[in-house]
Amino acid sequence: MTQYLLEADNLVKHFPVGRGGGFRQTNRPMIKAVDGVSFKLEAGTSLGLVGESGCGKTTTARLLLRLYDVTAGSIRFGGEEVQNATGKPLRAYRNQVQAVFQDPYSSLNPRMRVRDIVAEPLVAQGQMGRKELRDWVNELLSVVGLDANAAHRFPHEFSGGQRQRIAIARGLALRPRLVILDEPVSALDVSIRAQILNLLQDLQDKFNLSYVLIAHDLDVVAHMCDVIAVMYLGKIVEMGTADSISRAPAHPYTQALFSARLPARPDGRAARIKLSGEIPSPLNPPPGCHFHTRCPHVMARCRSAQPPLTTLPDGRIAACHLLGPA
């Protein structure tokens, strides 16, 4: 039986809107940011979360990081439920799950030297002696491609790519098993994005890391990930191997999303699918299939019946009446 490092089961995160408290809280409208998301991640593999802004991928990441409490559902890590963990079990979980964020300019304290930035999570634990700490920081700087002199300098002395290397070194300080990568290269020059992505892949092999990657660049996700989950209005609408999803997306929303990265074809057979309309508000998602207001294949029943996630012959899952049982 496959042992999964991370299992999210029916995760829900609703945010109440507007003012009010006490019993009125239950009557307040809710933003359904994440609405029944499930996935599993094997150790040493990567899951990509994709979808337009507001689809719930960042909220999902924050639930995994325990920055938000879940409204419902469970998160299992190494077989243990952690969604309600507090105290020591929560600290232990947080040590094993780290994050690297988009902006290496604001994520590093400008007043701290690099050695202190990288060592800070370890100092907070107080379990390492000074020499052991210094050696580990130097090793971390080395594995992310910075020389030992970097330890004595300040963040502003480095380029954007180097700062992201520092942020990655810090993220690895506690020897995590899972790293949440939230748009890790989108703030960087195009010329150095590939270097950072290659570094992340090397580190994954070296430390058997698992990644949950959020990126709007679908080529980055397809290149980095084993599995891709496509989200729309808080739900996964399609999930499967990165290869199957990027080569032959099955759900109409995934097709539109992935077609947008194709160059328009001058022969008129452009494969690009233009979606009309804005993404609806998660405060009041459309009935039936949430995508029906923008779907080029919408049918009558799409407006009233929500399509279930069904397993397709190649093993992926998708939620669309065109793909499920008639």
Provide the edge-to-edge strand list for the sheet that holds 30-42: 30-42, 4-16, 72-77, 80-81
Nearer to ligand SF4, 247 or 297 (CB): 297
Nearer to ligand SF4, 85 or 322 (CB): 322
Question: Rounded CA gap, 36 and 223, in Å?
Answer: 27
Q: What is the DSSP letter of 199?
A: H
Interface with ligand SF4 includes 232 (CB under 6 A)?
Answer: no
Instruction: Write down the residue that tokens 């829900």 correspond to.
Output: 12
Among 299, 300, 308, 311, which residue interacts with ligand SF4 (rule: CB under 6 A)?
Answer: 299
Question: Rounded CA gap, 200 and 231, in Å?
Answer: 24
Phi, psi (5° rounding) for residue 78? Answer: 60, 30
Among 104, 252, 282, 285, which residue interacts with ligand SF4 (rule: CB under 6 A)?
Answer: 252
Nearer to ligand SF4, 175 or 272 (CB): 272
The site that binds ligand SF4 (CB under 6 A) totals a number of residues, namely 13
Interface with ligand SF4 includes 292 (CB under 6 A)?
Answer: yes
Interface with ligand SF4 includes 234 (CB under 6 A)?
Answer: no
> What's the Cα-to-Cα distance from 299 to each of 292, 306, 307, 320, rounded to whole Å?
8, 12, 12, 11
Nearer to ligand SF4, 47 or 295 (CB): 295
Burial class of 24 by CB neighbour count within 10 A (0 to 12, 13 to 18, 19+): exposed
Minimum gap (Å) between residue 281 Cβ and ligand SF4: 18
Interface with ligand SF4 includes 233 (CB under 6 A)?
Answer: no
Q: Which stretch binds ligand SF4 (CB under 6 A): 103-111, 165-173, 259-267, 298-306?
A: 298-306
Among 177, 179, 307, 317, which residue interacts with ligand SF4 (rule: CB under 6 A)?
Answer: 307
284 Cβ neighbours under 8 A, 6+ residues apart: 29
Q: Which residues form the interface with ligand SF4 (CB under 6 A)?
A: 252, 289, 291-292, 295, 297-299, 302, 307, 320-322
